[in-house]
Amino acid sequence: SLKGKTAVVTGSNSGIGLGVAKALAAEGADVVLNSFTDTDEDHALAEEVGSEFGVTARYIKADMSKADECRALIEKAGACDILVNNAGIQHVAAIEEFPVEKWDAIIAINMSSVFHCTAAALPMMRKAGWGRVINIASAHGLRASPFKVAYVAAKHGVVGMTKVAGLETAKDPITVNAICPGYVLTPLVEGQIPDTAKEYDISEDEAIEKVILAKQPSKEFVTLEQLGGLAVFLCSDAAAQITATTLSADGGWTAQ
């Protein structure tokens, strides 16, 4: 059970972050949900998760594109036994047309936030004598696809950072790992279907079939429940010697 532990999940008012937060809450962890939006829905969502799983669930606003807000999120949480670095965005375009502001935003949100949140959380974990850092990287942390220059660079960076942080905490009761999902049908993937169709000059159905799931031999999307289960496993005693590495859930993608 994760009773008595506090999990901070960045970017968790949607998709994988919310799925992982719910899976940890189902094991008894108190959870901190985060996004940069700070809407009534965000606060209601935290209340919902809290009452559904009988845990303390809070919403804390922080923009993961800003270093000080990343660090403030961990400070405001007050405790951080489990840090799930999940916030991420995508943009699909060829390098020559790739907007500079999208490059900067993806590097900041998908990669630099992992550095800032980890730096703020490790002292708390060392003090508590237990900790888990779970980085939601991607199959794109291990493989490349065209038109995703910033995302692939950021996710490779996250995988590299996972190894360094795992080594720096190897003698502590802390593990640092990256989960590398293949395609999961979340708003992030739904949003890139039209752009993918445009880049390849095909229909949206063909984009799913021929481009997106073409990478994934299982021909099935990975589910939120499967990723939640992996995060719970990484928090278990059975996973205590798994550190500084990647766990793929990609239907066979990265075997190719």
**Consecutive H or E run containing 196:** helix 187-200
* Cα distance between residue 32 and residue 9, in whole Å: 6
Q: What's the min distance (Å) between Cβ of 127 and ligand NAD?
A: 26
Q: How far apart, in whole angstroms, are the C-alpha atoms of residue 244 and residue 161?
A: 9
Q: By CB under 6 A, what part of segment 73-132 binds ligand NAD? A: 86-89, 109-110
Site for ligand NAD in 180-199 (CB under 6 A): 181, 183-184, 186-189
Q: Verify whether residue 151 is a known catalytic residue.
A: yes
**Beta carbon nearer to ligand NAD, 187 or 237:** 187
Q: 15 or 50: whose CB is closer to ligand NAD?
A: 15
**Which residue's CB is nearer to ligand NAD, number 138 or number 243?**
138
| Phi, psi angle pair for 6, to nearest 5° | -110, 130
Q: Residue 71: how many CA atoms within 13 Å on its side-chain side?
A: 8
Q: Is 36 in the site for ligand NAD (CB under 6 A)?
A: yes
CB of 89 to ligand NAD, least distance (A): 5
Report if residue 230 touches ligand NAD, rule: CB under 6 A: no
Q: Which two tokens stand for residue 106?
A: 């993806």
Q: Which of 59, 151, 183, 200 is catalytic?
A: 151
Cβ 131 vs Cβ 29: under 8 Å = no
B/e letters for 138-165, b = 16+ CB within 10 Å, e = fewer, are bbbbbbebebbbbbbbbbbbbbebbbeb
Residue that the structure tokens 């270093």 belong to: 67
Nearest distance in Å: CB 237, ligand NAD = 26
Q: How far is the CB of 32 from ligand NAD (least distance, A)?
A: 12
**Binding flag, residue 12, ligand NAD (CB under 6 A):** yes
Distance in angstroms (rounded) separating the CA atoms of residues 75 and 68: 10
- Catalog residues that contact ligand NAD under the rule CB under 6 A: 11-17, 34-36, 63-65, 86-89, 109-110, 136, 138, 181, 183-184, 186-189
